Each structure stands twice: as C-alpha cells, then as structure tokens.
Amino acid sequence: MICFIPRTESMKCLTLFSVCLLGSALLNAAEQQLINTQEITTPFLKPADALIGISLRDGFKVQLSTAEPAVQQPIAMTWDSRGRLWVAECYTYVESKVNFYTRLKDRILIFEDTDNDGVFDKRKVFWDQASQLAGIEVGFGGVWAAYASNVLFIPERNGGDVPDTAPEVLLDGFENDKVRHNIVNGLKWGPDGWLYGRHGIFASSDVGTPGTPKEKCTCINCSIFRYHPVTRRFDVVCHGTTNSWGHDWDKHGQLFFINSVIEHLWHAVPGARYRPSH
C-alpha cells in the first residue's frame, strides 16, 4: 500500500492505492498460494523501488504503508471511523480461460497504524470465506461486501473485529458467470447516506431481495446503483456506458465514475440512460 500525504499534515492520508507485485517467492507459507498464469520474464520491483516511479503534485509526498506478503491481490478498500484500513483481497479471479478459481477464498483484512508513523504495524484477517469479492464498505454495525452474485452484510457490533454471525444476503441475482470481470463491485457510501455500487457489461442481472420473484426484480446491465441501509430500498441511479470500476463525488455532491477502457470520466445524472460504449 502506498499512502499520499500532504506535507502540511504529515500523517493525514488523502489518497491510497495498492501495488501488488504477485511474486510467489514473497508469500508466507501460511497464506494461500497465488496462481501463476504467465512466465515471469522481468523481475518485479521491490516495494520501495516502486515509489521512485510515482509522479506527485507539489505539496505531496509518498511513503510505503504495507506490501506483500501482508497484502495480496487487493481489489477494494475503505476506512472505518477509527482510521483503520479495510482491504478486500480477491484470490479467486485468475485468467480468462478459468474465469474464477473457486478453490481459493477471498478475504477481508484490517490494517492499523498504532503509532501514527504512516506504516501499518497491525494486521488482522476479519473474514476469509469469500468468493468473487469485488467491493467492501464499513458502517451501520458491520461490513458490507459485493460477493459473487450477492451484496452481503456481515454484522460486527461488539468491536472485536470478528463477525458476530454468518453474513446476511441483502441483495441477490447479480450475474457472476458470463459477466466475468464486470461483476457487481465498488461499494461506497454516498453523501446522501445510501450505499452505491456498480455493474458492468456482457450480462444482465435481475436484482432483488432474497426470494423476490424474477418479474419483480430490477433488471440491470451497465449501471450505477444504490441501496439504503435502513429502508433496504434498491434503486438504479443511471444505466449505460460499459465497465465501471470507480466512482466518487465532488464537493457539490455530484457523482462521477470511470469506465476502465475509456479515458474520460462520466457524470452520473440520476435517471440517465447512456449509450453503451462497447
């Protein structure tokens, strides 16, 4: 993990992203063995050396917060109210011929910087029974996860960093076979208190609460959706575009998202239907 820090507030992390080296030699014997899908012809950079190639705007510096083997295959992350980082590791997504390798399990980790030096010195595995994990968020007494064909809620209300009970399926019906790497992903709280997520192209999903008849489900393809944590209402914000894998709000509360194969941003206008781009 690499943490960008403004020089005027040396311990406040503004933006964070992951560099995953995928070097099997670095893996701890107790960890899952990653699947090697291609021959290594170029040596991987060491984590510290990778920092050299990062370009920064004036007023920022970068430091290494954690690296393999402490974190592997990171696909999503979020912060909790205690300033801890929660990371979703996706081991199950491999190469196109295999799609998802379900013999492995995806995980949710918690990282903490106890001495405020910008380096995570405490790590805990919160949950290690996921599959096709592609989104994570924390709040309302638990952890929310985009997991295979579902959106789950994992209760954790006593502060012990251990699931209180088995996960609860809040939404199901998300296509997780034909859609491949465009599966339900990217959970994130919006400024309106709703939980937002994304759905890519190649297949459609009939989404609803468990047990909802198909004719009463909401059919979605490329879209940005949202879910209310209290009323449990599911809405589609906008339809269209292609493979959305990132979204955020500006200071005015306007939502923007990216499509991984298109260079520009999209403005998510509620109710809009954008032309598919693939």
Q: 142 Cβ partners below 8 Å, 6+ apart?
A: 153, 154, 155, 156, 157, 164
Q: How high is the pLDDT of residue 102?
A: 81
**Average pLDDT of the residues in 123-141:** 96
C-beta separation of 4 from 10 below 8 A: no
Sketch out the chain's domains with CATH numbers: 69-267 (2.120.10.30)
Q: How high is the pLDDT of residue 96?
A: 67
Name the residue with tokens 């096709």. 132
Q: Give the model confidence (pLDDT) of 21-55 as tens digits.
A: 333 333 443 567 777 777 888 888 899 899 988 99
C-beta separation of 67 from 1 below 8 A: yes
Q: How high is the pLDDT of residue 180?
A: 67
Give the pTM: 0.86
- Here the tokens at position 199 are 């759905």
**Positive or negative torsion for Cα 147, 153, 154, 156:** positive
Please tell me the distance from the alpha carbon of residue 44 to that of residue 263, in angstroms, as a whole number.
Answer: 27
Output the average pLDDT for the chain: 86
Residue count of the chain: 278
Percent of the chain's residues with pLDDT above 90: 61
- Here the tokens at position 143 are 């952890």
**Average pLDDT of the residues in 212-223:** 94
Please tell me the distance from the alpha carbon of residue 151 to that of residue 105, in angstroms, as a whole number.
Answer: 17
Comparison of pLDDT for 200 and 214, the residue scoring more: 214
Q: Please name which of 60, 66, 58 lies closest in space to residue 17, comparing C-alpha atoms.
A: 66
- Here the tokens at position 40 are 């290594």
